[in-house]
Structure 1
């Protein structure tokens, strides 16, 4: 009887521990952001060249990055797009300006060093539609090798170099098609 009871307890523990295994959180393969007439699908962010966070959680940093860039492009695009027009981007790669360097304990977090060795880059496909009909579409590989030589106003804006890539692209590529 004592042997049976011990076997039953061990079997119960093994059964419960098997059911209560910690599951890894599922990471979304893509992230969709929207601002008015602009939709951006950030496809497979884990494969991007460099969107490394220097502080906080990587997932929160990515959400902040994607939201900020969508808002910046949306602010401009929504002024120029008609109500029946839609701009959809599918971003396949982002390489933020600069490079994350470890501080080896000198600071609590790593830091991003911005130099002309690491220019901002964004690769995406886009489709501009009006009433469901395609007006313009294509693929882009944006980068700005001289990004540090451009005049930059002193602001607290997040991701100014990447924002400028998207804004310049919109003005040169999308606005003439409107």
Structure 2
């Protein structure tokens, strides 16, 4: 009797699990194209590796939050210019990023392809800029890595991909 029950319930269980997996299929894939050529990234620096991880992680989380379940987004990062500028430090090999205000906003040049149900619905190359980054009061820069870039990407993502955005 257990074998008979299992033979009936197992196919049903597989269908249910397959449907649930398909429903959570929204995905963001981030590719860093020639990061050694980026405006503000030295591919050997800890900051560059941390920034790329942060950018990728932020975009993936934004996708989970704002993309429809049947959507896939591929983002090719073409250039990164972080907020502020690197200044030499007294500690050898450890330059310090200094936020100098309006003159040093973050920007990321990217190309993206949004697919829904396997069909391309939007494709574009653009430069995302955080022009008002110094006037923000909702950023806790001391406790967060790359807060200006995160805020800039969040604003851009919501404008482009949140339900109802065009």
Shift of 1:83: 3.2
> Is the alpha carbon distance of 1:83 and 1:146 closer, same or farther for their aligned partners in structure 2, counting shifts above 3 Å?
closer
Length-normalised TM-score, structure 1: 0.69
Q: Is the 1:39–1:87 contact (alpha carbons within 8 Å) kept by the matching residues of 2?
A: yes
Equivalent runs, 1:4-15 vs 2, <5 Å: none
User: Are positions 1:169 and 2:156 aligned together?
Assistant: yes
Deviations along 1:80-139, one digit per CA (max 9) or x if unpaired, are 323321011111110001111113xx3342211111221101100111101220111211
Unaligned runs of 5+ in 2: 1-25
Q: Distance in 2 between matches of 1:130 and 1:136?
A: 9
- Matches of 1:146 and 1:177, distance apart in 2: 22
Alignment partners' CA distance in 2, 1:96 and 1:52:
12
The 5 A counterparts of 1:1-178 are 37-52=27-42, 57-58=44-45, 60-103=46-89, 106-108=90-92, 109-116=94-101, 117-154=103-140, 156-175=143-162, 176-177=164-165
Cα distance in structure 1, aligned partners of 2:86 and 2:96 = 6
The answer as to whether partners of 2:36 and 2:42 remain within 8 angstroms in 1 is: no
Secondary structure of the residue that 2:72 maps to in structure 1?
strand
**Worse-matched range after superposition: 116-125 or 145-154:** 145-154
- 2:62 aligned counterpart, secondary structure: helix
RMSD: 2.0
List runs of 5+ in structure 1 lacking aligned partners: 1-35
Q: Which has the larger radius of gyration?
A: 1
Which whole-Å CA distance do the structure 2 matches of 1:114 and 1:133 have between them?
42
Q: Distance in 2 between matches of 1:75 and 1:137?
A: 20
